[in-house]
Structures are given as structure tokens and as C-alpha cells.
Amino acid sequence: MILKFQSKSKNQKYPQLIKKTKIMILATGKNNRVTAKAMSVINKGLNIMFQASKKSTKFEQMTHNHYVTLSAKNMQIEGIAKVRDHPMRDKEFLNLYKIYHHGSFLAYSQLEEEAVIEVKSFLITLYKYDNKIPFRYILEINEKLAYKIEVENTIRKIIK
């Protein structure tokens, strides 16, 4: 059963949840191989930014397949990765990254091969319990839809 909710206050909680999350797992894939790695992230509304080495497996996978997933705790974010610029030339990124990830900034941001990646989110899913019943709270950004689905019913339908 899909239960719709359109309350602006609920939709505004997504950027706040993302902002609280400083480390996310980034899943990328290329040629039937998927890898996952913890990344130090910052957000710009519903979009996520991080830096990666142009020599890394992650960067290579993202240049061949722009579709990525980031996750933390009960939140999953699907989006499209785009290379921005070098961290030291990307002032918007640099100002926030220095504050939230100072150690990583000092260790990596000045390296020549680093690049800022921005993930434009298109689907955010939160897994939460409501009265001991598991639900997926879903925000389809491009379609401007927010709704929740009871997980148990979804699982039963797939198994049958």
C-alpha cells in the first residue's frame, strides 16, 4: 500500500538529515563490478559533494557509469555523479569541506589528482518503523513526489 504525504515540513527534513551525515558509503559500478567505500561528504540541499582522486577505482567507475548510490544509517540516496573542479578551485566545496573534514582537507585537498564530485540526487529512501511496522519513506525529487510504502507488504508480493 502506498500512502502519500505531501507535507512540506516532512520534505524539508531530508536536507537536514543529509547535513547531519558526515560520512556516507558510496557504491559505484562498472562492467558488472560494484565497489563501496566510505566517503567524507558535505551537502548542498539534497545534493552530495565529496572529493576523490582521479587515479582511484571510484573515479574510473563514476566516469563510465554516472549512476551512484550513497548510504548512511537508514538513508539511501540515488543520484548522478558529475565532476566539478579541483577542491582548491571550488570555493563552495572548499569552504564547507575545511570546516567539516579538516583532517581530510589537510591530507588530500591540495593533491593535484583530486577532484570534487557532486551527486545530483533523484531518489532518497529512508527506512523507518511506524508503530512497529517497517516503512520506506521515499522522495522522488524529479517527480516531486513524497510517499511511504509498507515494507512487509512489498516483501510478501515479491516472494509470492
The range of the structural domain enclosing residue 77 comes to: 2-159
Looking at residue 14, what is its pLDDT?
A: 74
CATH assignment of the domain containing 82? 2.30.110.10
Q: How many structural domains is the chain composed of? A: 1
Q: Categorize the per-residue pLDDT at 11 as very low, low, confident or very high, splitting at 50, 70 and 90.
A: low
CA 106 to chain centre: 23
pLDDT digit string (tens) for 104-155?
A: 999 999 999 999 999 999 999 999 998 888 999 999 999 988 888 988 765 5
Looking at residue 12, what is its pLDDT?
A: 61
